[in-house]
């Protein structure tokens, strides 16, 4: 483990949800403290389980971990920090302005950008603060600022209030303007991020194609921003016991293939491989064995089996009842929502319905795969990258043409925000849905509640100006009420039977509910629960799933279904044509 | 000197980037404002999301918000009188209200500026 041999002061761990950033950063923090260093461990995951890992109640101030001398830990919740920022802006006006005006300010500040900036504010306070620097040898973070945030901070226009005065007064940097007093602190933080003697950025990934590709993108993006001191952790690599268990053998083969095909840049990084654990890493002893334990200790005798849930065929039985309509699969990256969408489309078509399938994964080749299916299944593709490019070109040619160089740079960065991608994709799939009123349309993405609320506000506004200006396109106007119609639209929230994906899916559900949309069903994907297994490690993993399957069925889902792990259709290879074809 | 005050609605990225249509209406309006500035009009612009104080402190704005709700935004006020509610006025309308002839040519005409669309 590179970061243990030559540890820099700041250690960041980045990667998508569920790859084990928190476990890895905890283990690193414990190892450094055990070597006599004084360490601060910071978790910025809103669903952080550090308290559970260390069996110590934590707050947003450093707290000593009694089992590990010299280690202190804290939880920082960027959502809460963003909420506090929102309240600072809105609070004073609650009694002064009408309720709908206050609500519209709040929604504007509810986007992903505000949370990202609020998270950076927390990083900056910790890494830019001299007192903190004196108190600890190392600060370990279980996440890292995004490229979008770092680029924004680098723009002079972000700080000049340019948009506040000359165009329309708001952009992603709105929150920054509210924090302008912090500028020096932010500059110091950005400088230390790109100093290889001070900061190491460790990319954490599973041995899966899509996760590795995302790590590659992050690596390139950070390097372009000057953050070049990077390392790679491959977490949860599976080593089967013997060759008796076909599931174990298939899983192992799939991981080897993904590692062999690893993209060039991350393949060249210093790499640490961490073995798959039979159960969640909880407790200081488990953390001390984190880097070396291939067996994960002894496996409990015959772990209990998780409850069963209705299967995929039953989900499709229910979806087909309307005879037509929109089915959207939704979930964070890596939960297999593209595969699930393809399977639903193929199954509906096989049952004789007219179906149109659209996916947003440009590498999915679903079109090729489903080409073998009867004419009642058509398919298309929405490529988010192309949609954003098209959208960006359009906005730069119109709005951008009227701005000076600083203004254009800031507008370009606004156009790189997560909100922009969502809007661009939303417009594209509004067109797709419009195409097909007499059939099933299956899409592998769904808009967030935030987008729906913004579009709704924009729609109300455009109603007023319709005579004068061009209005919201017909496709968008027709789509909004349909999204809210449970007889027409059904959202299937996809998750894995693991802590982080379940919490992320629950957050997506809360956000949809804000916009008056109730997901139709939850699908637990790639589950070991329905499988016959003999490998002891997989048996233990299967038992572990029970807790999350219960949580989905009892706490979150109106209707819960389960789809077993299957060779060739897990997230790692969901895009390869042969494999998608096999389900057809 | 004439004054023009614009009270904009709260929007996520009102650069237009986050609006449901890549909308050059905002940019056209901005170019009209540039033209009026060149002609000596004092132009001020407030966004509900970032300068809520400006809305709360102006009794005319606050009163209109209470009566009509946020549908009254954007609210455009020329020399203390409401010019338009819920839409961005055209260059012609603005010129008329402020006594600036559209042909005045205080500054080069912005590309793509619409004349009128009733």
Q: What is the DSSP string of A72-136?
A: EEEE--HHHHHHHHHHHHHGGGTTTS-HHHHHHHHHHTTSHHHHHHHHHHHHHHHHS-HHHHHH-
Comparing CB atoms, the residue among A399, A460, A468 nearest residue B71 is: A460
Q: State the best of A402, A413, A466, A467 to mutate against chain B, taking most chain B CBs within 10 Å.
A: A402
CA distances from A157 to A142, A224, A225, A342, A343 (A): 30, 20, 17, 44, 47
Contact call for residues A358 and A441 (beta carbons, < 8 A): yes
Record: contact B56-A96, CB cut-off 8 A: yes
Record: contact A399-B69, CB cut-off 8 A: no
Q: State the best of B5, B9, B18 to mutate against chain A, taking most chain A CBs within 10 Å.
A: B18
Record: contact A105-B30, CB cut-off 8 A: no
Q: How many angstroms away from the CA of B55 is the closest CA of chain A?
A: 8
* pLDDT tens sequence for chain A (584 residues): 767 888 999 999 998 878 888 889 999 999 999 999 999 999 887 667 788 889 899 988 899 999 999 999 999 887 787 888 778 778 888 888 888 888 877 777 776 667 777 778 788 888 877 787 789 999 999 988 878 778 776 665 555 443 333 333 344 444 444 555 566 777 788 888 889 999 999 999 999 888 898 899 999 999 988 899 999 999 999 988 888 899 999 999 999 999 999 999 999 999 999 989 887 788 898 899 888 765 544 555 455 788 889 999 999 999 998 888 999 999 887 788 888 998 999 899 999 999 999 887 655 545 444 445 667 888 888 888 888 888 888 778 877 776 667 667 767 777 777 667 777 777 787 778 776 678 999 998 877 777 777 666 655 544 443 333 344 566 666 777 888 888 889 999 999 998 888 988 998 999 889 888 899 999 999 999 999 998 988 998 899 899 999 999 999 999 999 999 987 643 333 333 333 333 33
CA distance A177 to A293: 48
Record: contact B20-A164, CB cut-off 8 A: no
* Active-site residue, selected from the candidate residues A8, A14, A15, A22: A22
| Local structure of A424: helix, strand or coil | helix
B80 shares contact with chain A (CB less than 8 Å) = no
Q: How many angstroms away from the CA of A519 is the closest CA of chain B?
A: 23
A244 shares contact with chain B (CB less than 8 Å) = no
Record: contact B47-A420, CB cut-off 8 A: no
How far does CA B29 lie from the centroid of its chain?
7
ipTM of the complex: 0.72
Domains plus CATH for chain B? 3-104 (3.40.30.10)
CA distance A396 to A381: 25
Query: Number of residue pairs across A and B with CB atoms under 8 Å?
Result: 191
Record: contact B17-A411, CB cut-off 8 A: yes
Q: For residue A522, what is the enclosing H or E element?
A: strand A521-527
Domains plus CATH for chain A? 2-288 (3.40.50.300), 312-384+432-583 (3.40.50.300)
Q: For residue A237, what is the enclosing H or E element?
A: strand A230-237
Cis, bond preceding A406 (omega within 30 deg of 0)? no
């Amino acid at each position: 483990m590179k970061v243990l041999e030559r540890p820099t002061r700041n250690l960041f761990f980045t990667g998508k949800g569920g790859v084990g950033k928190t476990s890895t950063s905890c283990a690193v923090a414990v190892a450094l403290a055990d070597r006599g260093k004084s360490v601060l461990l910071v978790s910025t995951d809103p669903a952080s389980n550090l308290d559970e890992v260390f069996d110590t109640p934590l707050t947003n101030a450093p707290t000593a971990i009694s089992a590990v001398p010299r280690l202190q830990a804290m939880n920082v919740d960027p959502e809460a920090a963003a909420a506090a920022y929102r309240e600072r802006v809105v609070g004073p006006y609650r009694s002064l302005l009408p309720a709908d005006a206050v609500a519209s300010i709040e929604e504007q500040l509810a986007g992903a950008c505000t949370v990202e900036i609020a998270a950076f504010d927390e990083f900056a306070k910790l890494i830019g603060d001299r007192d903190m620097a004196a108190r600890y040898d190392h600060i370990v973070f279980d996440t890292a600022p995004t490229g979008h945030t770092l680029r924004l901070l680098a723009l002079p226009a972000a700080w000049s209030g340019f948009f506040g005065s000359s165009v329309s007064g708001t952009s992603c940097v709105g929150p920054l303007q509210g924090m302008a007093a912090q500028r020096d602190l932010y500059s110091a933080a950005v400088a230390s991020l790109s100093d290889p003697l001070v900061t190491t950025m460790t990319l954490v990934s599973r041995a899966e194609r899509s996760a590795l590709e995302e790590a590659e993108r992050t690596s390139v993006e950070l390097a372009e921003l000057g953050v070049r001191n990077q390392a790679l952790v491959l977490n949860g690599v599976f080593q089967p016991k013997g060759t008796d268990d076909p599931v174990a053998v298939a899983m192992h083969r799939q991981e080897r293939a993904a590692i062999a095909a690893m993209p060039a840049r991350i393949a060249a990084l210093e790499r640490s491989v961490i073995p798959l654990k039979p159960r969640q890493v909880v407790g200081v002893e488990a953390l001390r064995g984190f880097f070396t334990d291939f067996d994960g200790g002894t496996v409990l005798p015959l772990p209990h089996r998780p409850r069963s849930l209705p299967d995929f065929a039953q989900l499709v039985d229910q979806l087909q009842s309307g005879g037509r309509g929109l089915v959207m699969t939704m979930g964070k990256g890596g939960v297999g929502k593209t595969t699930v969408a393809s399977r639903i489309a193929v199954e509906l078509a096989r049952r004789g319905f007219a179906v149109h399938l659209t996916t947003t994964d440009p590498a999915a080749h679903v079109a090729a795969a489903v080409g073998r299916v009867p004419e009642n299944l058509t398919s298309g593709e929405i490529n988010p990258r192309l949609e954003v490019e098209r959208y960006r070109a359009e906005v730069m040619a119109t709005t951008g043409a009227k701005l000076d160089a600083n203004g254009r740079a800031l507008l370009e960065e606004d156009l790189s925000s997560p909100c922009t991608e969502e809007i661009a994709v939303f417009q594209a799939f509004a067109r797709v849905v419009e195409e097909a009123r007499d059939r099933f349309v299956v899409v592998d993405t769904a808009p967030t509640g935030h987008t729906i609320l913004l579009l709704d506000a924009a729609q109300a506004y455009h109603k007023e100006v319709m005579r004068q200006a061009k209005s919201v396109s017909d496709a968008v106007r027709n789509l909004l009420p349909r999204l809210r119609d449970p007889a027409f639209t059904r959202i299937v929230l996809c998750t894995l039977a693991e802590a982080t994906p379940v919490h992320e899916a629950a957050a997506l559900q809360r956000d949809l509910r804000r916009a008056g949309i109730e997901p139709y069903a939850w699908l637990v994907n790639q589950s070991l629960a329905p499988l016959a297994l003999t490998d002891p490690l997989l048996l233990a993993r299967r038992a572990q799933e029970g807790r999350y399957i219960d949580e989905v069925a009892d706490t979150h889902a109106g209707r819960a279904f389960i789809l077993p792990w299957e060779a060739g259709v897990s997230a790692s290879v969901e895009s390869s044509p042969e494999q998608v074809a096999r389900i057809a | 000197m004439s004054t023009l005050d614009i009270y904009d609605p709260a929007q996520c990225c009102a650069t237009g980037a986050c609006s449901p249509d890549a909308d050059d209406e905002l940019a056209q309006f901005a170019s009209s404002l540039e033209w009026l500035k060149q002609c000596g009009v004092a132009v001020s612009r407030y966004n509900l999301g970032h300068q809520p104080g400006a809305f709360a402190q102006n009794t005319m704005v606050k009163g209109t918000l209470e009566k009509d709700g946020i549908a009254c935004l954007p609210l455009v006020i020329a020399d203390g009188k409401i010019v338009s509610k819920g839409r961005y006025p055209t260059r012609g309308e603005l010129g008329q209200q402020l006594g600036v002839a559209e042909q005045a040519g205080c500054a080069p005409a912005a590309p793509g500026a619409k004349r009128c669309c009733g």
